[in-house]
Amino acid sequence: MIGLLKRDLALAIRAGGGFGLSLAFFLIFTALVPFGVGPETGRLSEMAAGLLWLGALLACLLSLDRIFQLDWEDGTLDLLATSPLPLESVAALKALAHWLTTGLPLVAAAPVLGILLNLPGAAYPWLIASLFVGTPALSIIGTFGAALTVGIKRGGLLLSLLVLPLYVPTLLFGALAATRGAQGLDATTPLALTAGITLGAAALLPFAAAAALRVNLR
């Protein structure tokens, strides 16, 4: 099992693996916001937590179609499906590898980008915590979406349409935790709900993703 994770991490950091693309998108998105909203620091700082969450979500969305598509194209997915590794584990490991190469760097970059948006000091711990517990849900839900659309040529747009509505609860509670933190309010409840979404998704969606893969591999 660890072999698949190691391979996915190795592939992500090699040439053409796409590691850093999401991070660069996140950076550019955050840098563009002040141009669109205007440089008024008061207004920016009010919106910063929500914008950072939105940026992280969109950056995560960018790399979803790579999760299964490349393995499907070169026949590896067929071979994995006939291997002793259950497809449920394949889906769970793929989601984990996606989070390690996409979600975790976004969590690490968010506080630095918070400075660009004049994020209030009190919000930093809550922003980092909410992204840390919330981005795994984005990867897991995205893996399910990628499993549904594997095999569709240029399925990236369809994948986005399927996945974005499913991201609403995570974004809602994650951004709420960070925003409440910015206002100096207690943010434990939205944070716990974000963690709940992640745990629920981790428990259920690998099975759904495996079922979708089985149908698509026929």
Q: Which residue has the tokens 């207004």?
A: 43
Nearer to other proteins, 75 or 165 (CB): 75
Length of the chain: 218
Query: Is residue 17 near other proteins by the rule CB under 8 A?
Result: yes
Binding mask 85-114 for other proteins (x = CB under 8 A): x-----------------------------
Token pair of 32 as six digits = 């563009």
> Around Cβ 73, how many Cβ atoms within 10 Å?
12
Quick one: which of 36, 75, 121, 165 contacts other proteins (CB under 8 A)?
Answer: 75
Nearer to other proteins, 14 or 43 (CB): 14
Q: Which residue has the tokens 């659309």?
A: 149
Q: b/e per residue, 147-184, with b = 16+ CB within 10 A? A: bbbbbeeebbeebbebbeebbebbbebbbbbbbbbbee
Query: Is residue 209 near other proteins by the rule CB under 8 A?
Result: no
Please state the closest distance from residue 80 (CB atom) to other proteins, in A: 7
Q: Which residues bind other proteins (CB under 8 A)?
A: 2-4, 6-7, 10-11, 14-17, 73-76, 78-85, 215, 217-218
